[in-house]
Amino acid sequence: MTQEQIQVTEVQTLRLPAIAIRGLVMFPKMVLHFDVARQKSILALNKAMQGNQKIFLVTQKNSRIEHPKKEDLYTVGVVAKVKQILKAQGEVVRVVVEGVYRARMCELITDDPFYEVMCEEMPMEPVQESKQMTIDAYMRIVKDLFEEYCYYAPKMPKDLIVNIIGSEDPVYVSEYLTQNLGFSLEDKQTILEESSIRKRLEILSTLLRKENEILSIERSIAERVKDQIDRNQKEYYLREQLKAIHAELGDDDEGDREIDKYREKLKEIHPDEETEKKISEEINKLSKMMFNSQEAMVSRNYLDTYFSLPWNVMTEDKLDVNAAKERLDADHYGLQKVKERILEILAVRKLEPNIKGQIICLVGPPGVGKTSIAKSIAAAMGRKYVRMSLGGVRDEADIRGHRKTYIGAMPGRIVSAIKQAGSMNPLMLLDEIDKLGSDYKGDPSSALLEVLDSEQNFAFRDHYLEVPMDLSNVLFLATANDPSGIPEPLYDRMEIINLSSYTREEKFQIAKRYLVPKQVKRHGLNGRTCRFNDEALYNLIDHYVREAGVRTLEREIASICRKSAKMIVAGEKKSCHISSKMLESMLGPQKFKDDDLQKENLVGVVNGLAWTAVGGEILQAEVAVVDGNGKLELTGSLGDVMKESAKAAITCVRSLCDQYGIDKDFYKNKDIHIHFPEGAVPKDGPSAGVTITTALVSALGQIPVRHDVAMTGEITLRGRVLPIGGLKEKTMAAYRNGIKTVIIPKANEPDLYEVDPVVKENIRFVTAKEISTVLETALIPLPAQCLEEKNPQQESAALVEKAVVAEHPCLNA
């Protein structure tokens, strides 16, 4: 056994009283002051004073345990000598001890009435010469780290610094430094228990490096906090100086009042959190600006615009469906689809008040009342009315506004319309939505996509306001003349209601009920001084105006009222009774003539029905057949579709040759000329197919066509009759021209619901699925044919011919 091993084994074992200390770790050769309050510890002190004044001090693991057991105590502690005991307040004893050496608790003999243990000394391991340089290196590292620690903690005691820097004893440095620095209890206990000086210094250097990093972070944080405090103090100082300057200039009170006024308005509105934060920041920014500066003017204009909007203003809807119906009927004649849709909105809103997303687009020709009915709808619903004309708008900023940083910036038309309406749920009319343009500045129709989407417009953001605005309560009503001019995504967001042109009867009712009283009153006349009879109004509609709406009709009525006022003022007449005879003297010769229809049954001449933007018209088809080599001539300014219909009709007629006595080789040895009068007017569409077919059969078979029959429908090669559009206008044209029978496609039978009652009362409608039905109705059978059909029993030919002539008086000619 070596000398070093002998030194390690020769240790002292003593029986000593013990004290469990809390929150402290005792080291040898260190003097410690602490208070003793537990009765067990006081008894242990008394026991030590009765003997050699030595006591075993061991740290308890959890300082909250009042009566710790052996497992609650660390094993390694320090044998200390009691230097002084002082009586403190109450039962507390203040004791001064000095560490003698490290010791390990071998056994806890008793814990009542005080702790008494068997402990043995724990000397440090001797240092081998080969490891001396390593320990010296660690000493330098520890001292360097301690100096860095002192840099971050400048209030270190000078005697501590001198003792550490000046000492070369590694055991002393490790224990003295550990006890006086703010390491954790566990770290201090770890160093106390370590017997290898090299490992002690290694642990100590690691703890010092970690502590230095923490102190460095704390210092940087403290510097940032200090800088922030200094900046706040500087801003406060400058702000106080600015207030003093404002006070000297005389605008301090005015600026403060303005800021207070804005803050009060913000509290009254109660916006959402995002909006409140944005507006509050803008108010605070304004409060720091010079009162008359350019930036203050921009900020002030923005706040004035924001607070001028009716954020919490909502009008209450009138949900009386019957009252709304009376109001709409009183203001406008016709327009049943629009009225019915509005009444549906009111009915649903009465059952479900929170429903949103009504976006309607009225599509129709000019002058049919699309714009004017919007006012009536707003009045019927009890909403504010605001109109926004979109015709010619090319800049996207017109819809969304400009950024407020630009000179002359302003909000978009949507926000301006809400401001003009004075409520957040107006009826907003987007007039002429199909006239939107686009250029390098943007596409305004794309900006409307969010506005007219009920799933998105609850948070519409204008570029100027920069805060969300709820547009879901707005009832959007758009108007358009040509639906093809509306972009497809925008078209898809709206409910389309098509308005057709006014019929003759509708124009008469509108003129009699609305236009005449309006213009008579506007020109200073009354019902006694200026009267229009019904015949004069019909004559005016038929021969002086030709339009889809009633604007020109109103202008002509206004012209008559002006001339009547002139005659009354000049003394020529006391009152004017406007009749058909007076129209020519007031307005000049008739501008439009009635369709010059033949009043006799002719071969190859058929009455067709055509739709135009200003209403329906009679369109006659004439067919001439002459000897030739199968040439087909089409005249009358026909479009491609109409020419194709003529070719399809010829093919269809070839399958009907046997039924109507037509030469099967007519397409080889006959030249056919199909003509539509008024050749200067372009014509196109497939709806003249049955008309051309009937005219061909009549001309090729020399069969007369009834002059009081008109027809419309598309024809196929196999003789099927396909549906067409514009039935309401076409039937009105037939009624106006004295037609008694109208042939329509079978598929168009549901459209008869929209035909005027006066038309249905005076016209017999024949629905045709095949061309045979059309020909049976329109063609007049020849006497020989009638004989064959009506006299299968070979009756007298003379009796049959007499009966046929009696049924068809035109044949008597």
Asked if residue 522 and residue 458 are part of one domain, the reply reads no
Q: Is 81 left (phi over 0), alpha (psi -120 to 50) or beta?
A: beta
Least confident of 245-259, 419-433, 492-506, 520-534: 245-259
Asked if residue 193 and residue 70 are part of one domain, the reply reads no
**pLDDT at residue 811 tops 50:** no
Structure tokens at 172: 């002393």
**pLDDT at residue 660 tops 50:** yes
In a domain, 233, yes or no: no
Peptide bond into 444 cis (omega under 30): no
Asked if residue 531 and residue 395 are part of one domain, the reply reads no
Asked if residue 565 and residue 624 are part of one domain, the reply reads no
198: CATH: 1.20.58.1480
Tens-digit pLDDT profile for residues 66-91: 888 888 888 899 999 988 888 877 77
547: CATH: 1.10.8.60
In a domain, 232, yes or no: no
Structure tokens at 430: 């987007």
Which band of pLDDT confidence, cut at 50, 70 and 90, is reported for residue 130?
confident
Rounded distance between C-alpha atoms, residue 611 and residue 365, angstroms:
13
pLDDT of residue 292: 67
Contact 58, 21 (CB under 8 A): yes
**Three-state SS across 176-196?**
HHHHHCCCCHHHHHHHHHCCC
Least confident of 64-78, 669-683, 715-729: 669-683
pLDDT of residue 329: 80
What are the two backbone dihedrals, phi and then psi, of residue 367, each rounded to the nearest 5 degrees? Answer: 85, 10
Could you say which of 121, 140, 162 is where a domain stops?
121
**pLDDT at residue 252 tops 60:** no
Rounded distance between C-alpha atoms, residue 513 and residue 554, angstroms:
12
654: CATH: 3.30.230.10
Asked if residue 138 and residue 12 are part of one domain, the reply reads no
Helices then strands, counting H and E runs in the chain, come out as: 31, 26
Is position 687 annotated as part of the catalytic site?
Answer: yes
- Higher pLDDT: 291 or 69? It is 69
Structure tokens at 730: 């076409």
Rounded distance between C-alpha atoms, residue 63 and residue 38, angstroms:
13
Look up tokens 């040898």; give the residue. 28
Q: Which amino acid would we find at residue 176?
A: Y
> β-pairing, 13-21 with 115-121?
antiparallel
pTM score of the predicted model: 0.55
pLDDT of residue 233: 80
**pLDDT at residue 658 tops 80:** yes
Domain tally, the chain: 7
State the average pLDDT over residues 660-684: 84
Could you say which of 97, 121, 145 is where a domain stops?
121
User: Distances in Å between the alpha carbon of 140 and those of 162, 209, 562, 799?
Assistant: 15, 13, 116, 147
pLDDT of residue 357: 64
pLDDT > 90: what percent of the chain?
Answer: 7
Give the three-class secondary structure for 674: strand
**pLDDT at residue 669 tops 70:** yes
Asked if residue 615 and residue 749 are part of one domain, the reply reads yes
Given the residues 416, 687, 698, 728, select the one marked as catalytic. Answer: 687
Domain that holds residue 178: 130-218
Give the three-class secondary structure for 389: strand
Given the residues 40, 384, 728, 730, select the one marked as catalytic. Answer: 730
78: CATH: 2.30.130.40
**pLDDT at residue 618 tops 50:** yes
pLDDT of residue 195: 87
Is position 285 annotated as part of the catalytic site?
Answer: no
pLDDT of residue 770: 92
Q: How many CB atoms lie within 10 A of CB 226?
A: 10
What are the two backbone dihedrals, phi and then psi, of residue 125, each rounded to the nearest 5 degrees? Answer: -70, 140
**pLDDT at residue 453 tops 50:** yes
Tens-digit pLDDT profile for residues 272-289: 888 888 888 888 887 777
Contact 694, 775 (CB under 8 A): yes
pLDDT > 70: what percent of the chain?
Answer: 90
Q: Which amino acid would we find at residue 500?
A: S
Asked if residue 739 and residue 805 are part of one domain, the reply reads no
**pLDDT at residue 784 tops 60:** no
Q: How far apart are the first and last CA of the chain?
A: 159
Name every residue whose Cβ is closer than 8 Å to that of residue 490 and which is 6 or more positions away in sequence. 433, 445, 448, 449, 452
Tens-digit pLDDT profile for residues 18-50: 988 888 888 898 888 888 888 888 888 888 888
Exposure of 678 in the CB half-sphere (CA atoms within 13 A): 12
Cα-trace Rg, the chain: 54
pLDDT of residue 363: 83
Range ranked top by mean pLDDT from 423-437, 462-476, 637-651, 726-740:
637-651
Asked if residue 378 and residue 280 are part of one domain, the reply reads no
**pLDDT at residue 720 tops 60:** yes
In 3D space, the residue among 570, 568, 571 whose CA is nearest the CA of residue 560 turns out to be 568
In a domain, 165, yes or no: yes
In 3D space, the residue among 259, 166, 153 whose CA is nearest the CA of residue 208 turns out to be 153
> What beta strand segments (E) does 527-627 contain?
530-532, 576-578, 602-603, 605-612, 615-627
Residues in the chain: 813
pLDDT of residue 111: 82
In a domain, 592, yes or no: no
Q: What angle do CA 667, 672, 673 make, to 5 degrees?
A: 160
Rounded distance between C-alpha atoms, residue 280 and residue 331, angstroms:
47
pLDDT of residue 615: 65
**pLDDT at residue 595 tops 60:** no
pLDDT of residue 624: 92
Contact 604, 621 (CB under 8 A): no
Asked if residue 575 and residue 716 are part of one domain, the reply reads no
The kind and range of the H/E element at 217 are: helix 197-249
**pLDDT at residue 9 tops 60:** no
Burial 113-146 (b: 16+ CB within 10 A, else e): ebbbbbbeebebbeeeeeeeeebeebbebbbebb
In a domain, 419, yes or no: yes
**pLDDT at residue 793 tops 60:** no
pLDDT of residue 807: 39
In a domain, 226, yes or no: no
Dihedral sign computed on CA atoms, order 726, 731, 733, 734 = positive
pLDDT of residue 768: 92
Asked if residue 338 and residue 287 are part of one domain, the reply reads no
CA 56 to chain centre: 79
Asked if residue 93 and residue 178 are part of one domain, the reply reads no
432: CATH: 3.40.50.300
**pLDDT at residue 176 tops 50:** yes
Could you say which of 63, 95, 121 is where a domain stops?
121
In a domain, 234, yes or no: no
Asked if residue 454 and residue 391 are part of one domain, the reply reads yes
In a domain, 315, yes or no: no
State the average pLDDT over residues 242-247: 68
Rounded distance between C-alpha atoms, residue 538 and residue 534, angstroms:
6
State the average pLDDT over residues 49-74: 87
**pLDDT at residue 745 tops 90:** yes
